Amino acid sequence: MDKLIITGGNRLDGEIRISGAKNAALPILAATLLADSPITICNLPHLHDITTMIELFGRMGVQPVIDEKLSVEIDSSTISSLVAPYELVKTMRASILVLGPMVARFGEAEVALPGGCAIGSRPVDLHIRGLEALGAHIEVENGYIKAKAPEGGLRGGQFFFDIVSVTGTENIMMAAALAKGRSVLKNAAREPEIVDLANCLIQMGAKIEGAGTDTIIIDGVDRLQGTTYTVMPDRIETGTYLVAAAATGGRVKLKDTDPTILEAVLSKLQEAGADIQTGDDWIELNMHGKRPKAVNLRTAPYPAFPTDMQAQFIAMNAVAEGQGTVIETIFENRFMHVLEMQRMGAKIQIEGNTAISSGVALLKAAPVMATDLRASASLVIAALMAEGDTLIDRIYHIDRGYECIEEKMQLLGAKIRRIPG
């Protein structure tokens, strides 16, 4: 298992490019199953989760063709199996995103039930109930979700999400795109990745209105066709590098990103004392050598503060001036990174879903373990602020969602290297 070694103490300073968004690329890849002619997807990030999705397609008889710029052409007409097996689903929960497209286009699908995971129980009941609202007949048997469309295919329906779900909204929106008649999704997730997926579907010929609001109206069409689509920038990767620079009192300019989808994060960074400049596709953050001030925040669905940025802000608060309170409302077990940071000398207390930190000037290097994707990123930030060499184990988590993290961090002046193992 690869490990990272980080020598703390360097102030980050430099410019890097932001990659395509993992959480937009995954549903867009799944959406290619809906088209009856080849689709080309550009700006796919080079990440382990993307490779897993491509491997899943391979198992189903669909062979994506990847060019040297990592654009992928997918022709789903060669599909030969409508099963997403457990050994792949258990490594990536987002595999559930093929469920809606397969039932809508091919009339049936079998997708393994993803189990619990490091950040919470994460059920998929809304995906199932949403598809049932479109007429699908679903049985959960032997650890698999077995879904069948009724005679004549899925039909439009109304569905109210009693909890806002990002991939749930995406799954049902994709299925509804090929259902007969109108579907209305209420209390839908409003994340920018939903808008990106809707834009791709619209380019394929879908009729969708309201993506980005809590009510999405989809008028099903008979067929969706191929197109070329470029995935949006990754707002969580963007936020992670901004926080890393802020924690170290440094400066960073991020290119090929989009400041309009990061308002909650940018405003918290300003509160922490960052000077932030933005252009159409770039963000520059400068702390002018100052130590950040601790911030209070509460995670909630978009446009509020994202749960995927909570761990990174806890790392910043750990070395910031003053006391900071972070409340996690989306996942019940998303504080594993706090226990690792405590081993590095961070003064953070957990009370239920709240983490209260009293900033210390410097952390102390210690061997630590990454427990999930964003937790790993937060440990990298903590290590940048630690005296000595921090060894981060189990960094396969980080490779699921951060493209070339050590190269990008090195470009910003961090002392970081990978030890293959």
Binding site for ligand EPU (CB under 6 A): 23, 26, 93-94, 120, 122-127, 163, 165-168, 189, 306-308, 330-331, 373-374, 401
Nearest approach in angstroms of CB 192 to ligand EPU is: 11
Q: Which is nearer to ligand EPU, 21 or 363 (CB)?
A: 21
Nearest approach in angstroms of CB 389 to ligand EPU is: 26
d(CA 248, CA 387) in angstroms, rounded, equals 12
SS3 assignment, position 281: coil
117 is catalytic: yes
Q: Which is nearer to ligand EPU, 183 or 312 (CB)?
A: 312
SS3 assignment, position 333: coil
Q: Which is nearer to ligand EPU, 23 or 286 (CB)?
A: 23
Question: Concatenated DSSP letters for 121-172?
Answer: ----HHHHHHHHHTT-EEEEETTEEEEEPPTT--B--EEE-SS--HHHHHHH
Bridge-based pairing state of the strands 39-42 and 72-74: antiparallel
- Short-list 368, 274, 265, 356, CA closest to 309: 265
Dmax over Cα atoms in the chain, in whole Å? 66
Q: Which is nearer to ligand EPU, 168 or 259 (CB)?
A: 168
Nearest approach in angstroms of CB 21 to ligand EPU is: 9
Q: Which is nearer to ligand EPU, 251 or 374 (CB)?
A: 374
* Beta-carbon contacts of residue 84 (< 8 Å; ≥ 6 apart): 56, 59, 60, 95, 96, 98, 99, 109, 110, 111, 112
Nearest approach in angstroms of CB 301 to ligand EPU is: 7
CB distance 27 to 240 below 8 Å:
no
CB distance 6 to 384 below 8 Å:
yes
Nearest approach in angstroms of CB 275 to ligand EPU is: 28
Structure tokens given for 302: 């978009």
Nearest approach in angstroms of CB 161 to ligand EPU is: 8
Q: Which is nearer to ligand EPU, 237 or 284 (CB)?
A: 237
Half-sphere exposure in the Cβ direction for 352 (13 Å, CA): 3
d(CA 391, CA 379) in angstroms, rounded, equals 10
Residue ranges in 359-413 assigned as alpha helix (H): 373-384, 396-399, 405-411
Give catalytic residues, as residue numbers: 117
